[in-house]
Structure formats: structure tokens, C-alpha cells
Amino acid sequence: MKNLFVKLLSISMAFGTITLTSCDSDDPEPITGGTTEVMENLDAGILNGTLTEDYTLSSTTTYSLTGQFIIDDGATLNIPAGTKILADNGGTDVYIATLMGGTININGSAGNPVIMSSADGNPGDWGGLTLCGKATTTAGVDATAEVGGFIYGGTDDSDSSGIIRYLQISGTGAQINSESQYNGVSFYAVGSGTLVDNIAVINGDDDGVEFFGGTVEVSNLYLENNSDDSIDWTEGWNGSITNAYISNTVEGFSTVFEGDKDNGNPQFNNITAVSTVGGTALQFKKTSGGTIDGLSLVGYDVDLDMKDGGATSNVIFSDGYTPVAMVEDDASTTDVDESVYTFALNTSAVATVDLSDFDWVDTDISFESSLLQGAVTGDVTLDASIAYVLNSSYIVQDGGKLTIPAGTKITARDGGTGVYIAVLQGGQIDIQGTATNPVVISSASASPGDWGGLTICGNATTTAGVDATAEVGGFIYGGTNDADNSGSVKYLVLKGTGAQINSESQYNGVSLYAVGTGTTLENISVINGDDDGIEFFGGTVSVTNIYLENNSDDAVDWTEGWNGTVTNTYISNTVEGFSTAFEGDKDNGNPKFVNVTAISTVGGTALQFKKTSGATITDLYLSGYDTNIDMKDDGPLANVIIEGVAATTTDAYNTGTQVDISTWTWIDASL
């Protein structure tokens, strides 16, 4: 955030004769009551005490918030556009609160927002803004707030606490005790008669906004680096939020959303949340829930967390999100009935709200051009001179094209299933590596399972049918165009792929879903994948020159009737516990393999065929495997043709010419 109050202090000096310097050299002590004293201090540019009558601030005065400023029942505080309020770094003793029956009218504008902040805008400097209303809450009538001991809650769901328009509030979240902190803006049983439009909460040390029951609706909400939850609600709040942009660039925050207790089914329309530091997006406790329409999440490790094992049916995604259970590797959660999910949806990277919609917010937040995340909707060409970081999903949409020139290095964040590159049906990828300058995409440590990998979805045929749903990402694939073109991939090195989605599914190094013959795939190396090196789900695409080293499951896997050709395959297994060199499954599309070398130093199984799958293989060389041919489901050996004849389970298959990789100097290129 820009240091707003470098500007504010200069303004304050300019108007010193009517603001702070109009006081004696000894500043007045905080006023805890007394109408005359409060009004005099307001006239002097000081907010402190309890306002018991109507007052309008001046936009030409920089006000100093020196303590508790409370708007009492029956009083109205008007804050015109352009007003600036500088809060002392007084922690929980410095805040603004509107009690039940009180009214605050913040009338900022896009050109002149109202600013409330401490001098530096650092998290926890002061309390924030609290509104108490007379709407319903499951806490009951005349409940006591966890902050300030304020009374809130009634029976009037249309109650009005005033107007908040174009407010930027920074540096809030002072800690009361180990359990409670102030939020940027706290809404206690605030009713639907309250107008809230265009609020920005930046650098709060607790929540950005929190709703304690009530029915208030909010539109155009900007939330940046709030340390706990960006949006929090409880006590049956059943209002709505329309158009919210949320960013998390500081590690250690809690969530984007946190819903708690009874489900009032609040509505959320057009929510975009972006993280550069992983974390959890949506969390629901107890039986809480909501209805969400137009959601875009980018960069989060966990999309949905049902903290107490609540029913996912309480959370309605009108865009068709499907929660897919994730493997929870945090041992600390084993004693908690908790379920975490990623979403099966291929459009989640398309922002529904744009950062430019909040150009009235004074912030330095930006996402470096070296950060790859979100959606590719037009033609995007990377720059080989830039060290890129793949922070999240990076999804090439229908009609989009991603070009990656020779020599480009991309470091994938160790973010598991939340980090991958995908090309959707109708999208294209053009990886232009060369033998001397391959494209490298790897996690920093290149450890198995660090990130997802590369997924391409096409319109070719598959036995799964037209518009099938992929097991990874929920992507749609499959059509009737066997000549479909998803682009070109040449000289690509992938390391550390294979993040595990759940007990049944993992990402592969390269996943090819119904990819057609118009797609070019040449010279691909997949090393240290925690699942398959390359897997074909139907389609007709062919590949030339693939190097597959120590992929934990299968080096080459295919299913759904894939019937392309792979020419020159070199497989190396030197780590125990892998599955197979080849695994074919389901219907036999009779794919062809020309020149296959697979060498193991740790035994294991070479070629495995499930169901009725098969292939035609020529020039096969196997070495070091305990089992060369495994017909897993006793399928017919006649489906597996090796060197022109049906396979046997006893042949050594060691007479083929080994694939010469001595000239493949690019295969182990590093970041």
C-alpha cells in the first residue's frame, strides 16, 4: 500500500490553522462523554467520545481519531467525499462505532473516496469501523458484541444504519484478546436498509469484513491482505455480496471466506480471489453455507474446506462447481471431522471481477508479469529472458493461445494440485523449445508431486464419449474430430509433477485428453513424476521421442481407445515401488509403439495390459524387470503384438535395438 498519510500529513499542515495546530501545545485528553467537549473536538479536527447529535465532517480537514468515537442512538455522523481520518496507533482503544439507532453516512465518490487509516496503514494499528443494527441474528435480541461490548440484534430486518459509499479503510484488526480482534468493518445485525457500496479494506490484522447475523447487502468490495478471513460471517447472516475482488500476497492468512454456525444461505455474486501464497479459499464451519454465482479462484491450495465435516450440499455453486475430495496430508487434522476439496471446473481461472474495477482504491498491489496464473483468453507469448513462476492454475481457454519460446524456464510453486497448466478444448499451446534451448517447467526441488503438470484437452474421439469429464480438473474433452489441433509441444522438460488429488486420482506429467492428430508432440522429458509420465485418454495424437525417468506409477499409460503412435520411447526406473513401464487399459484401440527401450535397476513390471487393451510394438528392448508381460485381467495375448507376433509371458524381449539417447542432451535440463 502506498503511504497514504505522507500525503495526508502534508494536507494536514496546509490546514493546520483549523485542525490539529489550532489546539494548545498540550493535546486534549480523550473525551469519554459530554456533548460540548465532543463537539468542540470535532470542530478542532479530533474524533473522540460519544456523538449524541447530528454532525457533518469537513472534507477539507484531516481528522485525528484519538480514541473511541461512538455514534449514539439518535445521532447521525455525515462524512462527505474526500474526508480523511487519521487513526492513532492505539490498538483496541481507537475505533469508530455506530450503536443501534445511530446513523453513519459515508458519502465518498470514485474520485474522492473517504479514507480511514493509521499513519502507516500497518495491520493491527487500530480497531476499525463497527455498525450495530436491529435486524435479526441467531444470537437473539439485544445480544452483546465480542468487540466493545456493544448491544445489537432485534426484529427489524429492514433497519438502516446509514450509508457507506467509497470507503477505504486500512491498518485495522487490533487484538482484544487471544480469541477476539476488531475487523476492518464489523456488521452486527445490520439491516437491509443500510446501503453499502464500494468498500476497500487493506492490511487488516483480522477479517476484512464480518457479518454477525443481519440482512445487509454489500456491493463492490475490495479486500487486500487481511490476515485472517477476507469475508467472515456467522449467526445466520442472510444478506448478499455482489462483485468482490480479494487478493492474498502475504503468507499466513486464514481464508477468503469463512462461514460459521447456522446457515442463513447468504448470496455471493461475482467473486474473484487471487493468491500468490497458496492457502485456503472457502471455509465453512458447523452447518454454515451459502449460494455462490460467478466464482473465480486462482492460486489457492485448497478450494473448499468443510471444517467440521458439514454437508457440501449447504454450499450451492450455481456455475456447476463440483467439489472433489483431496488427500489431506496434514496430520494435525486427523482428530477433526474435516473434509477438504478442490473444484472440478475448467473455467475457474476466468476472473469475474477485474482489479481495474477498483481504480479508486489507493494501493500498490500488483501481480508481477513473471507470475503465471489465471486464464489465457487471447494470444499470450512468454519471454525467455524472464524467470517465470507458475503460481496456480494457468488455463488456456477456448480461442486462447499460449506461446512459450525456446529457453523459457518456469518454476512451479510447490502447491500440489492447485498448480498446473491446462489447455482446454479449442485452446492451443505452442512450446517452441530446441535441442540446445528446451523449455523447462519444474518445481524448485523437482520432487515428485510438487505440482500438477501439463494437461491438454481436445475434440478427438474417445470411448468416454463426447464432452466427457476428466478425472483431473473436471475438464471437458472428447468430440468427433480426430484431426483436431491443440498446438505444438517441442523440446519440453517437466520435473516434479503428479500432485495427488485424492486416493483415486493424481495429475500426470503430461495428460492428453482426446487430443487429435493435428497436434504435434516431439521431444518430451518427464522426470520424477509422482504418477504417470504421460497418459493418453482416447484421442489419436502421436508422439516422437519421449524420455521418462522415475515416474512413480506408469511411465506410459493409455485408456479409452487411444490409437496413436509413439516413436522412440526411453524409460528408466531406478527407484523402487513404481507400477509399470507401460499400462494399457480398457478397449483396445491398437496404438503403435516403434522403438521402445525400458530399463530397470529395481525389478518391477514392464508392460501391463488391463481389460481387453493391447498394442502393436516393434523394436522392443526390456532389461531388469521381474515381469515383462502382465495381462492383469487375463485379456487375450493376441491383442499385444510384439515384433509381428502375439506376445508371450516368457519372452525376455531383449533383442531390440536400444533407443540411442546419447544425442538427447536436452532431457535433464534444469531451471
Per-residue pLDDT at 338: 76
Q: Is the pLDDT of residue 366 over 70?
A: yes
How far apart CA 495 and CA 420 sit, in angstroms, is: 12
Final residue before a domain boundary, out of 316, 345, 374: 345
Domain containing residue 495: 434-646
Q: 327 and 457 share a domain?
A: no
465 vs 561: CA distance, rounded Å = 11
Three state DSSP letters for 445-493: CCCCCCECCEEEECCCCCCCCCCEECCCCCCEECCCCCCCCCEEEEEEE
- Report the alpha-carbon distance of residue 300 to residue 296 in Å, rounded: 11
Whether residue 104 is contained in a domain is answered as yes
The residue among 293, 322, 345 that closes a domain is 345
How many Cα atoms within 13 Å fall on the side-chain side of residue 581? 32
Q: Is residue 498 part of a domain?
A: yes
Helix (H) or strand (E) holding 404: strand 401-405
Q: Is the pLDDT score of 5 beyond 50?
A: no
Residue 497 backbone phi and psi in degrees, to 5 = -85, -175
Query: Is the per-residue pLDDT at 566 higher than 50?
Result: yes
Long-range (24+ apart) CB contacts under 8 A made by 249-253 are 249/224, 249/225, 249/275, 249/276, 249/277, 249/365, 250/225, 250/277, 251/277, 251/278, 251/279, 252/227, 253/225, 253/226, 253/227, 253/228, 253/229, 253/277, 253/279
Q: Which of 145-149, 174-178, 491-495 has the lowest mean pLDDT?
A: 174-178
d(CA 478, CA 487): 16
Same domain, 335 and 467: no
Instruction: Count up the domains in the chain and report the number.
Output: 2
Determine the Cα–Cα distance for residues 15 and 20; give it in Å rounded to an integer.
9
Is the pLDDT assigned to residue 30 strictly greater than 70? no
Residue 509 lies in a domain: yes
- How many angstroms separate the CA atoms of 387 and 410, rounded? 6
Q: Are residues 327 and 458 in the same domain?
A: no
Same domain? For 331 and 442 the reply is no
Average pLDDT over residues 499-524: 93
What is the CATH classification number for the domain harbouring 446? 2.160.20
Residues 189 and 301 placed together within one structural domain of the fold: yes
Residues contacting residue 111 through CB under 8 Å, at least 6 positions apart: 81, 360
Is 103 among the domain residues? yes
Retrieve residue 275's grid coordinates.
493468491
In a domain, 323, yes or no: yes
- 173-202 CB burial, b ≥16 within 10 A, e <16: bbeeeeeebbbbbbbbbbbbbbbbbbbbbb
d(CA 278, CA 619): 46
373 located within any domain: no
Instruction: Tell me whether residue 106 is exposed, middle or buried, using C-beta atoms within 10 angstroms of its C-beta: 0 to 12, 13 to 18, 19 or more.
Output: buried
- One domain for residues 481 and 601: yes
Angle made by CA atoms 585, 341, 512, in degrees to the nearest 5: 35
In a domain, 149, yes or no: yes
Q: What is the pTM of this model?
A: 0.86
pLDDT, residue 341, reads: 84
Q: How many CB atoms lie within 10 A of CB 316?
A: 14
Integer angstrom CA distances of residue 269 from 235, 289, 332, 351, 617 = 21, 14, 34, 12, 54
* Euclidean distance between CA atoms 328 and 337, whole angstroms: 12
> Would you call 233 exposed, middle or buried from its count of C-beta atoms within 10 A (0-12, 13-18, 19+)?
buried
Distance between CA 212 and CA 133 in Å, rounded? Answer: 10
**For residues 420-428, average pLDDT:** 97
Do residues 458 and 339 share a domain? no
Both 323 and 457 in a single domain? no
Q: Which of residues 325, 345, 365 is at a domain's end?
A: 345
Q: How many CA atoms lie within 13 A of 338 on its CB side?
A: 18
pLDDT at res. 326: 78
pLDDT of residue 187: 98
Q: Quick: pLDDT tens for 196-232.
A: 999 999 999 999 999 999 999 999 999 999 999 999 9
Judge whether 218 lies within some domain. yes
- The length of the chain in residues reads 671
